[in-house]
């Protein structure tokens, strides 16, 4: 049986704990930029940890994480815009279908009047 476990996304406080655990640093000049990205990007702590493990050099590791988060943000925005386009197309189809049905019913009423 499959079991789904809901886990929260990584935010600034969890990120700082992960950085300390993996890179043993408490502060870095890139923390603010990463914190801002984490507020808008949905990323799991496991994804963040995976990025932090790519280098033992904190600057390289954190820059890699920034790039990862930026790419993830772009993908999320692209998906949202694609969903928006799909919803707009669906609305247009529904409106067109409704107009077509309305026009057909008017045609039928004209025939009945004859």
For the segment 20-53, what is each residue's pLDDT rounded down to a tens digit? Answer: 999 999 999 999 999 999 999 999 999 999 999 9
Question: What are the sequence ranges of the domains in the chain?
Answer: 12-113
pTM value is 0.69
Residue keyed to tokens 């929260």? 8
Q: At what angle do helices 45-52 and 12-23 cross, to 10 degrees?
A: 30
What count of residues does the chain have?
Answer: 114
- Alpha-carbon distance of 81 to 74, in angstroms, equals 10
What confidence tens digit (pLDDT) does each residue in 77-103 have?
888 887 776 666 676 666 666 555 555
Average of per-residue pLDDT across 5-21: 90
């Amino acid at each position: 049986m499959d079991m789904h476990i809901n886990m929260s996304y990584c935010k600034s406080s969890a990120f700082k704990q992960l950085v300390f655990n993996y890179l043993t640093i408490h502060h870095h000049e890139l923390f603010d930029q990463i914190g801002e990205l984490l507020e808008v990007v949905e990323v799991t702590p496991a994804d963040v940890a995976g990025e932090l493990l790519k280098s033992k050099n904190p600057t390289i590791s954190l820059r890699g994480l920034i790039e990862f988060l930026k790419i993830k943000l772009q993908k999320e925005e692209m998906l949202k815009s694609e969903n928006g386009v799909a919803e707009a197309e669906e609305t247009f189809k529904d409106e067109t279908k409704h107009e077509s049905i309305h026009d057909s019913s008017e045609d039928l009423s004209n025939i009945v009047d004859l």
